[in-house]
Structure 1
Amino acid sequence: MKLVSYKFKQNLGDLRIGFIINEKVYDIQEGYRQLLIFRQEEDLANAVDTVLPADPDRFFSIGESAIERAAEAYNYIRVSDSHFTAFHLEDLYLSNPVLNPSKIICVGKNYADHVAEMKSDLPEYPVLFAKFNNALIGPEDAIEKPEVTTKLDYEVELAVVIGKETSKVSQEDALDYVAGYTIGNDISARDLQKRTPQWLQGKTLDRSTPIGPWVVTSDEMTEPSDLAIRSYVNGEVRQSSTTSNLIFDVPYLIEFISNLITLKPGDIILTGTPDGVGFAMDPPQYLTGGDVVTLEIENIGKMVNKVQEPE
């Protein structure tokens, strides 16, 4: 399934969780409610929010059981002769599918070619840092470039969404704890990032980090280790690689991180970026107001964001 966080452009209201079938969005909770009615479970249908919330935050925080019920609704809608209301993507605003994760854990220096272009050394262990929720925006939002930086850079990354609480999981079992995958842009203010040994100040600026456009559930993407990954700025290819070039792959990262930190449903791991960032170009090419950044990962899709400077 492709899980989206959506609301209507003409009547914004609250965000709801949906899934995409044939390029149209269906409401997950309503689909599951109709399934319960079909099963003659009217009492549960009338209290559907208690088992399958429409709110994306609550949905992802529940994790595995919510995704399993969503899959039941998805399969019911696909095969049922009943009429279900579907929404056209152009009528909807898509938000970051995972709005308020308890943790956003980022991995630096995780592609050898990127390590080389940054004139750094290959890491012995994963290089971890954090972002906070203030940085997150959706796939249709503008990346805000504040006056405090003149060196704003792009980084396309495979993002992993955790589906079950886990601590000290093995690599062999790690993918069983993944809800799905999406695209992240680890926007980095290089001048702020590099003025101290700690990177945080250059990595979590307000409204700087797009996530989306949807989460592809792990049942449809069982192998994240060989996905083409690219970024474009104003249509020009900047980064082009594959996740097979990760120094520390997804199972290793989940094992490593979960031995340090308990991972919760809805947590996000940004797995690192390949070479081709603006900082390493000659001369460097940083983002400015009006630039359009397109990120693409195989089997997930594309995410397009415009850069916006203060007025």
Structure 2
Amino acid sequence: MRYVNFLTDGKQRQLGVLQGTSIVSLGNATLEELLAQGEDLVAYANAQRASGTEYRADQVTFLPPLTHPGKIICVGLNYADHTKESPYDQPSYPTLFPRFNTSLIAHGEPMIRPVISDSLDFEGEMAVVLKRGGRHIPRVNALDCVAGYSIFNDGSVREYQFKAPQWTVGKNFDGTGAFGPALVTADEVPEGGKGLKLETRLNGKTVQSANTDDMLFDVAALISIISEAIALEAGDVIVSGTPAGIGWAREPKLIMRDGDVCEVEIEGLGVLSNIVRDEAPRR
């Protein structure tokens, strides 16, 4: 199933299932609610969609699949080729940092280039959404916690990311965390999201190309390692890292500008597309 969160007429929020170029409404529940209740997402959609209204996907406004995840945990330096283009040595433990809900934007929504910095960069990544969690989750059981997978563009304001050793501010400017368009349930994805081609395009030109097999810490390892310290919960999101090709590592630097279109495509998960827009000047 491909779950989407969307608005009709720009105001009525609904949950639905994306089927080709159409969306079948499942009503007003949220994925956060369904996951917290322990609903089987495939069974729920099958039971609800027979009576749902159908909409054209190009006539709705997408929202992030989850707008208020309990936690968004991002993983840095999880592809060796990306670490080599960075100023860091390859760590032996996942590099973790938080994303906040206020930074999230949806497929088709503008990614905001902040007025105070000219350093907005792209990072195409696979997102993992959990249906259950806990502490000290054995790696062998970790994939049982996965509800599904989505796409993330971890828009990074590099100037602020590197102002201090800790990256959180540069990774959390409002309007920079693109998420969606759909949550694809785990039954439709290879186990652990393995073997999927990941490609980022800027104005139609490929700038990142990799495979999720290249991750140093795979999905099962990330869930298990994070849960050693942090209690994971249904509805949490793990953003699993970006491969080489970021704009900041290039000479000259490739910085996103107003009017640019950035697309992240992951095999089997779809295409996340956002136009870049300058933040309104401060008054």
Please tell me whether residue 5 in structure 1 is matched to residue 15 in structure 2.
Answer: no
Correspondence 1:34-73 to 2 at 5 A? 54-62=29-37, 64-65=38-39, 67-73=41-47
Query: Does the 8 Å contact 1:231/1:296 carry over to 2?
Result: yes
Please tell me whether residue 158 in structure 1 is matched to residue 126 in structure 2.
Answer: yes
Task: Give the Cα separation in 2 of the matches to 1:84 and 1:95.
Answer: 19
Structure 1 position 222, deviation (Å): 3.7
Please tell me whether residue 281 in structure 1 is matched to residue 247 in structure 2.
Answer: no
| 1:58-85 deviations in Å (ceiling 9; x for gaps) | 23433x31525424326x74xxxxx753
Q: Which has the higher helix share?
A: 1
What's 1:38 paired with? none
Please tell me whether residue 110 in structure 1 is matched to residue 108 in structure 2.
Answer: no
- TM-score, normalisation: structure 1: 0.86
Helix, strand or coil: the match of 1:164? coil
Structure 1 position 120, deviation (Å): 1.9
Please tell me whether residue 307 in structure 1 is matched to residue 276 in structure 2.
Answer: yes
Number of aligned residue pairs = 279
Query: Does the 8 Å contact 2:65/2:182 carry over to 1?
Result: yes
Task: Give the Cα separation in 2 of the matches to 1:16 and 1:84.
Answer: 11
What's 1:144 paired with? 112
Query: Does the 8 Å contact 1:166/1:177 carry over to 2?
Result: no
Give structure 1 regions of 4+ aligned residues with deviation exceeding 4 angstroms.
Answer: none
Task: Give the Cα separation in 1 of the matches to 2:31 and 2:215.
Answer: 30
Helix, strand or coil: the match of 1:219? helix
- TM-score, normalisation: structure 2: 0.94
| 1:265-295 deviations in Å (ceiling 9; x for gaps) | 1111000000000011111111111111010
Instruction: Give 2:26's aligned amino acid.
Output: I
Structure 1 position 148, deviation (Å): 1.7
Task: Give the Cα separation in 2 of the matches to 1:308 and 1:103.
Answer: 27
Structure 1 position 119, deviation (Å): 3.4
Task: Give the Cα separation in 2 of the matches to 1:70 and 1:94.
Answer: 21
Please tell me whether residue 234 in structure 1 is matched to residue 218 in structure 2.
Answer: no
Instruction: Give 1:21's aligned amino acid.
Output: Q
Instruction: Give 1:58's aligned amino acid.
Output: E
| 1:144-172 deviations in Å (ceiling 9; x for gaps) | 11112111100000000011132211111
Distance 1:84 1:97, change over 3 A: closer
Distance 1:147 1:256, change over 3 A: same
What's 1:192 paired with? 160
Query: Does the 8 Å contact 2:42/2:185 carry over to 1?
Result: no
Correspondence 1:186-265 to 2 at 5 A? 186-223=154-191, 224-265=193-234
What's 2:88 paired with? 120
Task: Give the Cα separation in 2 of the matches to 1:123 and 1:86.
Answer: 48
Unaligned runs of 5+ in 2: none
Query: Does the 8 Å contact 2:127/2:238 carry over to 1?
Result: yes
Helix, strand or coil: the match of 1:28? strand
Question: Which has the larger Rg?
Answer: 1
Task: Give the Cα separation in 2 of the matches to 1:279 and 1:21.
Answer: 37
Q: Which residue of 18, 21, 24 corresponds with 2:22?
A: 24
Q: Percent identity?
A: 35
What's 2:140 paired with? 172
Task: Give the Cα separation in 2 of the matches to 1:234 and 1:3.
Answer: 27
Query: Does the 8 Å contact 2:25/2:52 carry over to 1?
Result: no
Please tell me whether residue 269 in structure 1 is matched to residue 238 in structure 2.
Answer: yes
Distance 1:54 1:254, change over 3 A: same
Helix, strand or coil: the match of 1:165? coil
Please tell me the root mean square deviation across aligned C-alpha atoms, in Å.
1.6
Instruction: Give 2:273's aligned amino acid.
Output: V
Correspondence 1:82-93 to 2 at 5 A? 85-93=53-61
